[in-house]
Structure 1
Amino acid sequence: MHALAFAPDDASAMPLLPVAPDGLDAALQALPPEQGAWARALGFKGNAGEVAVLPGEGGRIARALIGRGSPEARARTRFALGQGASKLPEGTWRLEGSLDEREAREAALGWLLETYRFTRYRDGNGPKARLVAPEGVEAERLEILARAEALTRDLINTPAADMGPAELEAAARGVAERFGAQIGVVTGDDLLDANFPMIHAVGRAAAPHRAPRLIDMTWGGEGPRLTLVGKGVCFDTGGLDIKPSASMLTMKKDMGGAANVLGLAQAIMGLGLPLRLRVLIPAVENAIGSDAFRPGDILRSRKGLTVEINNTDAEGRLVLADALALAAEGDAGLTVSFATLTGAARVAVGPDLAPFFTDDEGLAAALARGGRDWADPVWRLPFHQPYESMIEPGIADLDNAPAGGMAGAITAALFLRRFAPPRYCHFDIFAWSASHAPGRPKGGLMQGARALLAALPEALDS
């Protein structure tokens, strides 16, 4: 369990002064002369994340400087000040100087996220520099968000041998138990009796102990309704349309949508938000076997729509469709799906942005604001209706993988909308950091969740 907590405020906390390049001379002149000279001797320039530790009497640390970077650098580097967690010596630190509310919050959250380490398979000590929560930030909220992201990262980083459908179910049960949520699971051939045919079809070729399942968790007795749906493909071989080996290397992260949903659910429950929450996770392994579904098969969905399979590697939308159809059978309220769904989304916006689709203009605006305010960049893509014909093959109601390679993220989103409740938003996320970045070590990543959390008060009131 990750601590991810701020240090208690006490007199021993060492001052940490953020300095921008254009304020460098003034900042150094305000220091005792020997400390200013020391900073200059170190070559400190105030670049983003740059650190200079300054000596005091008796060999003790007097304070440290940390670079804010230029406005251009701050626009390019999230969580720059959070790098102090891994660059400063062990001890307790307190930010000084004048940071606006957003920058102080980003620095504090980035510091917590910078301390995350995935240690399931090797010992590893994280940074030992701790931060006193800056004045004016919601310390408890930031700690809850950091722990939610740690859960998400842990789930994604765990390889498929130890994170199959059963283990994902166990993780969901653990979250439910901690917060008193109700949970039910339909597994294996019972999915057919319960009318989840596409979840069953995608997962039926897996070994019996990795059988497909639908996880259904509920929490909260009053307030507006929020339904979260997460793609839980615990490993994706591509099925009979097998992926090349290079494309399979990161497929342990294909349950990143489910991991993001569980992390977000943990945050919502931890914050005690006044809403009625439902979490639906279709958990499967898209395996290759004698019982695998095939290209050319036509599957009947829970909603009754038929789907022609033109690529078994477009399986995520199939399992999500049955879960979304279940949500649409009742009062789902606002429904949001998270999925590592298409490579086309990465081509469109790259790995750092979380693209989302919604017809709700108010929700779209609130998500954009939430992304900016909480260092969680998102970008709206359209449910472009003229492309509906691209997912209509003629032989069946829908095509799971339209030919041509154009607009793949949009056509996947349009496919899902055919099954979803009326008020619907879909995130097509990458859920992965390919290399180390401030606050985001290489590996699993939460994307879009903080933006949605910030948007909820406005979104659920409308």
Structure 2
Amino acid sequence: MNLPDGFTHNAPAALPLEVVTRAGYADWHSAQPAPVQLWADAQGFDGSAGTALVLPAADGDIAGAVLGVEDLLDPAAYGHAPFALPARDWSLSTSLDPAQRAALELGWGLGSYRFTRYKAPLRAPAQLLVATADDETFGLLAACTRVRDMVNTPTEDMGPDHLEAIAREIGARHGAQVEAIAGDALLERNFPAIHAVGRASHRAPRLIALHWGDESHPQLVLVGKGVCFDSGGLDIKPADGMRNMKKDMGGAAHAIALAELVMARGLPVRLSLLVAAVENSIGPDAFRPGEVIATRAGISVEIDNTDAEGRVVLCDALAHAGELSPDLIIDFATLTGAARIALGPDLPALFANDDAVAQAWLDAGNTHRDPLWRMPLWRPYLRYLTSNIADIANSGSKMAGAVNAALYLERFVPAGTSWAHLDVYAWNDAARPGRPAGGEALGLRSAYAMLKARYPG
């Protein structure tokens, strides 16, 4: 396979790279020659997390380097390495177990990432020598960078038609069937809510459906919110709230990347990927506050706020997902600012109607250092979605916004169907080592780990 940025198979002059924790620093220090001890002391290096120390050779060149990390199993612990070290070839000289080595390689790849579609990077990352490319580790890296690339791409190059093209390309590569129901065909095929939200845009709204796998395997349905730009509609967002709304298709990016990973790794499932792809625009045909719209499930929805559009497009996709007799439905959506207020940008909010599914995902998050936090489906709060003229309102209260949105979605999931919903930010507001500003995959690796355990090969 072609190696991503930051890796090499051929590095005869690779420099030795050691890894040390602060807890193990004293042992490492005492094992070094006196000049190295003096050099480390002079630099104030103590193995603290996120640090790196280049070791000098007698001839003035570089003899090697040492990384300070905190958690050897956390990919983020290594994210600083590719740009903290000189852009040379490096070979790991510290003995790590397979899980730690996988974390290093994944973290190195995530730390090497730069979005280069429109701007060349200032420098190349340091290169890590890998004897063999572990398929699963590099598959996870590809999935995470897929999300980053998609979310970082402006809407002019990542509209509903582009999401469809990506799904078709992935589907063709893995032998999947892909269909897109677009424009007025959404009305003919009974997806009226998706149509209502996207009808004002010059780019047709659509439901993108990918199907793959053996009919005898359990049905897994992944659903993604693909609002490629969210102006807020007639309830228009202020400028600062609209600035980064190219990322409102982050849920679709997660669902697409996870579907690609499931197919590439050959999980024994019958996979369906459903992406509701729209642009929430302002125009003569924009849906309006106070309108009552139809949905695929036959549940009428009063539009309290056109800026609560993600749940409206998702409700048709979830209703269709339920028609497929699924073993499990998972949806990903950049759904509410309330989730970010509650949990911050790094911790996605998990809602689930199945305790076993929720616990399995939480456990996978802890094991793989890709955490999320479970929030309650507190059904008494359905009172906040009461409509006087329709079955349900799409919004209505500033109280418990993330919970209300999840409760709205749950209304469209058939009773008895296992379902999990991840309200994910999909974004880094500021650059940190291994986490450049812009699009981010959150909860994706743990979702895959959970599915791998649920559907063993």
Name the CA distance, whole Å, in 1 between partners of 2:10 and 2:26. 30
Q: Report the 3-state secondary structure (helix = DSSP H, G, I; strand = E; otherwise coil) of the residue aligned with 1:231.
A: strand
Is the alpha carbon distance of 1:314 and 1:156 closer, same or farther for their aligned partners in structure 2, counting shifts above 3 Å? Answer: same
Name the CA distance, whole Å, in 1 between partners of 2:323 and 2:37. 67
Match of residue 188, structure 2, among 189, 193, 198 = 193
1:125, distance to aligned residue in structure 2 (A): 5.5
Q: Report the 3-state secondary structure (helix = DSSP H, G, I; strand = E; otherwise coil) of the residue aligned with 1:227.
A: strand
Name the CA distance, whole Å, in 2 between partners of 1:6 and 1:121. 23
Match of residue 336, structure 2, among 342, 363, 368 = 342
Match of 1:300? Answer: 294
Match of 1:371? Answer: 365
Whether the 8 Å contact between 1:144 and 1:267 is mirrored in structure 2 is yes
Name the CA distance, whole Å, in 2 between partners of 1:317 and 1:129. 43
Q: Deviations over 1:215-245 (max 9, x none)?
A: 0001112422211000000000100000011
Match of 1:385? Answer: 379
Name the CA distance, whole Å, in 2 between partners of 1:450 and 1:150. 12
Q: Report the 3-state secondary structure (helix = DSSP H, G, I; strand = E; otherwise coil) of the residue aligned with 1:262.
A: helix
171-180 or 97-106: which moved more? 97-106
Counterpart AA for 2:311:
R
Name the CA distance, whole Å, in 2 between partners of 1:319 and 1:146. 29
Name the CA distance, whole Å, in 1 between partners of 2:49 and 2:131. 19
Name the CA distance, whole Å, in 1 between partners of 2:14 and 2:263. 32
Q: Report the 3-state secondary structure (helix = DSSP H, G, I; strand = E; otherwise coil) of the residue aligned with 2:283.
A: coil
Match of 1:116? Answer: 113
Matched, 1:410 2:384: no
1:163, distance to aligned residue in structure 2 (A): 1.3
Match of residue 82, structure 2, among 85, 88, 112 = 85
Indicate the percent of aligned positions where both proteins have the same amino acid. Answer: 47
Name the CA distance, whole Å, in 1 between partners of 2:364 and 2:433. 20
Counterpart AA for 2:403:
I
Name the CA distance, whole Å, in 2 between partners of 1:62 and 1:25. 21
Matched, 1:218 2:219: no
Where does 1:7-156 land on structure 2 (aligned, <5 Å)?
7-8=8-9, 12-69=13-70, 79-97=76-94, 99=96, 102-124=99-121, 127-133=124-130, 139-156=134-151
Name the CA distance, whole Å, in 2 between partners of 1:174 and 1:167. 10
Where does 1:200-279 land on structure 2 (aligned, <5 Å)?
200-207=195-202, 210-221=203-214, 222-279=216-273
Structure 1: 5+ residue stretches without partners:
none
Structure 2: 5+ residue stretches without partners:
none
Name the CA distance, whole Å, in 1 between partners of 2:418 and 2:39. 59
Q: Deviations over 1:326-356 (max 9, x none)?
A: 1111222210000000111111111110111
1:101, distance to aligned residue in structure 2 (A): 5.5
Whether the 8 Å contact between 2:5 and 2:125 is mirrored in structure 1 is no
Q: CA RMSD in A?
A: 2.2
Whether the 8 Å contact between 1:4 and 1:143 is mirrored in structure 2 is no
Matched, 1:419 2:412: yes
188-197 or 104-113: which moved more? 104-113
TM-score normalised to structure 1 length: 0.92
1:444, distance to aligned residue in structure 2 (A): 0.4
Name the CA distance, whole Å, in 2 between partners of 1:90 and 1:399. 55
Q: Report the 3-state secondary structure (helix = DSSP H, G, I; strand = E; otherwise coil) of the residue aligned with 2:234.
A: coil
Counterpart AA for 2:428:
S
Is the alpha carbon distance of 1:396 and 1:167 closer, same or farther for their aligned partners in structure 2, counting shifts above 3 Å? Answer: same
Q: Deviations over 1:271-312 (max 9, x none)?
A: 122211110001000000111110000011011000000000
Name the CA distance, whole Å, in 1 between partners of 2:308 and 2:22. 49
156-165 or 279-288: which moved more? 156-165
Q: Report the 3-state secondary structure (helix = DSSP H, G, I; strand = E; otherwise coil) of the residue aligned with 2:229.
A: strand
1:41, distance to aligned residue in structure 2 (A): 2.1
Match of residue 345, structure 2, among 342, 347, 351 = 351
Whether the 8 Å contact between 2:301 and 2:394 is mirrored in structure 1 is yes
Name the CA distance, whole Å, in 1 between partners of 2:446 and 2:47. 29
Whether the 8 Å contact between 1:13 and 1:91 is mirrored in structure 2 is yes
Q: Report the 3-state secondary structure (helix = DSSP H, G, I; strand = E; otherwise coil) of the residue aligned with 2:79.
A: helix
1:78, distance to aligned residue in structure 2 (A): 6.2
Match of residue 166, structure 1, among 161, 164, 167 = 161
Counterpart AA for 2:379:
Q
Name the CA distance, whole Å, in 2 between partners of 1:85 and 1:214. 39
Whether the 8 Å contact between 2:267 and 2:455 is mirrored in structure 1 is no
Is the alpha carbon distance of 1:347 and 1:445 closer, same or farther for their aligned partners in structure 2, counting shifts above 3 Å? Answer: same
Q: Deviations over 1:112-138 (max 9, x none)?
A: 111111111112256432223599xx8
Whether the 8 Å contact between 2:18 and 2:65 is mirrored in structure 1 is yes
Counterpart AA for 2:384:
M
Whether the 8 Å contact between 1:362 and 1:459 is mirrored in structure 2 is no
Q: Report the 3-state secondary structure (helix = DSSP H, G, I; strand = E; otherwise coil) of the residue aligned with 2:80.
A: helix
Q: Deviations over 1:182-203 (max 9, x none)?
A: 1000110111001000000000
Counterpart AA for 2:38:
A
Name the CA distance, whole Å, in 2 between partners of 1:84 and 1:90. 10
Name the CA distance, whole Å, in 1 between partners of 2:435 and 2:69. 18
Q: Which runs of 4+ in 1 moved over 6 A?
A: none
Match of residue 431, structure 2, among 436, 442, 450 = 436
Name the CA distance, whole Å, in 2 between partners of 1:111 and 1:314. 38
Name the CA distance, whole Å, in 2 between partners of 1:118 and 1:103. 27
1:438, distance to aligned residue in structure 2 (A): 2.5
1:266, distance to aligned residue in structure 2 (A): 1.5
22-31 or 244-253: which moved more? 22-31
1:261, distance to aligned residue in structure 2 (A): 0.9
Q: Report the 3-state secondary structure (helix = DSSP H, G, I; strand = E; otherwise coil) of the residue aligned with 1:79.
A: helix
Q: Deviations over 1:424-448 (max 9, x none)?
A: 0000000000011222110001111
Counterpart AA for 1:97:
T
1:89, distance to aligned residue in structure 2 (A): 1.8
Name the CA distance, whole Å, in 2 between partners of 1:294 and 1:387. 24
